[in-house]
Amino acid sequence: MTTKQDRIESMLLELTSLPTAAGKEQRVQAFLDRWLASRKKSLRFKRDAAGNLLIMPRTRSRKAPILITAHLDHPGFVVRSIEDGVVEMEFRGGVLDPYFDDARIELFDEADRRSTAVITELDSKAQPFKLAKARLVTSSGTLQPGDVGRWSLGKPVVSRGRLRTNACDDLAAAAAALVAFDAIRRRKGTEHVGLLFTVAEEIGFIGAIDAAKSGFIPKAARLICLENSRSFAESPIGGGAIVRVGDRMSIFDQALTNRISDLCLAESTRDPSFLWQRKLMPGGACEATAFGTYGYQSTCLCLPLGNYHNMSEIDEVRAGKRPAKVKREEIAMSDFDSLVRMLVLVASRLDERAATPRSRLDALHAGRKHVLQG
């Protein structure tokens, strides 16, 4: 018998193994369209000119929207030309140069016919994207400019409590948003909670900035941006999903971040099996920074990620202590479950009346002062 967990893992494996790149998210968009098709009676949706997708319940609410947000791209190759068995490609995203050396890649035409190639040259100073050339090893004969490529990696699996796959960032977070939203939309009082899926995050928050500047999303919306962020010793994989305080560019909205932290702390006090973390996560930049810059109340929840952007042993490679090797990204399934639970908690309780930061400090001050004077 297929269990709910089996279905979640199957969906995760499917979604995170779809070829995608900035501006070339059509396979993930098609996945979302199929997901929406079975829920069209209860949901409404729209796309903007950039390709961002906004999903809301059909039942409308006067409350300020809460938008759970994830991006649909991952660092990848986009074909520019094919000539005499050599493919020239843009690389859209952030990966260190040594990882391109003699790396094997796979390329997909519009019908998902696969070709394989080996990188032979890299122009890392080309603008606006690095340019790579690769020699075809096997060819479908149908590759065209605009087709998508990615690193050639092992088969995606869930094993020993970990998901190892092509693109956790950010498709595992998108999967968590879908799983959580199926639970959220069945709860009364959550009609103001929706999903926002953005495009081209990996090349400078293109989709998020377009959505903010165009008014595609209401100015009163609270953005809960989801990410997969590089794990460090102080933010371990398996330690629970993370309330991300900020990134390498900014600190996120204080009131929103603290309110979510309070909810998580209360939940973990009530149920010690609920694991979560609160960290800065300065290893990259997040859409919460982009939305905050344009005046939106925004913060981030993230999954601690191994092999960030498919780069293994990044620090050792940078130091010249280890050869560069691309690998599958990985997350803990327990962290995925923690993120889903966190999202349901936030959607259900974010707007409940809560003690103000000042009232909490006043109470703490009064208690300590009493002890000193007693």
The per-residue pLDDT string of the chain (374 residues; one tens digit each, 9 = 90 and over) reads: 779 888 999 999 999 999 999 999 999 999 999 999 999 999 999 999 999 999 999 999 999 999 999 999 999 999 999 999 999 999 999 999 999 999 999 999 999 999 999 999 999 999 999 999 999 999 988 999 999 999 999 899 999 999 999 999 999 999 999 999 999 999 999 999 999 999 999 999 999 999 999 999 999 999 999 999 999 999 999 999 999 999 999 999 999 999 999 999 999 999 999 999 999 999 889 999 999 999 999 999 999 999 999 999 999 999 999 999 999 999 999 999 999 999 999 999 999 876 666 656 665 555 555 555 55
Q: What does R_g of the chain's alpha carbons equal in angstroms?
A: 22
Domain 76-151 in the same topology as domain 4-74+156-303+332-349: no
Which residue's structure tokens are 């099996």? 273
Beta pairing class for 130-138 and 86-92: antiparallel
Nearest Cα residue to 202 out of 29, 18, 24: 24
C-alpha distances (whole Å) from 99 to each of 86, 159, 309, 341 are 19, 25, 11, 36
Distance CA 222, CA 291 (A): 10
Topology given in CATH for the domain delimited by 76-151: Elongation Factor Tu (Ef-tu); domain 3 (2.40.30)
Give the up-direction half-sphere exposure of residue 268: CA atoms within 13 A in the CB hemisphere.
16
Beta pairing class for 130-138 and 297-305: unpaired
Q: Please state the domain extents for the chain.
A: 4-74+156-303+332-349, 76-151
- pTM listed for this prediction: 0.94
Domain 4-74+156-303+332-349 has CATH 1.20.120.1200: no
Residue 361 exposed, middle or buried by CB count within 10 Å (0-12, 13-18, 19+) = exposed
For the chain, the straight-line distance linking the first and the last C-alpha, in angstroms and rounded, comes to 64
Nearest Cα residue to 94 out of 134, 130, 65: 130
Distance CA 165, CA 330 (A): 6
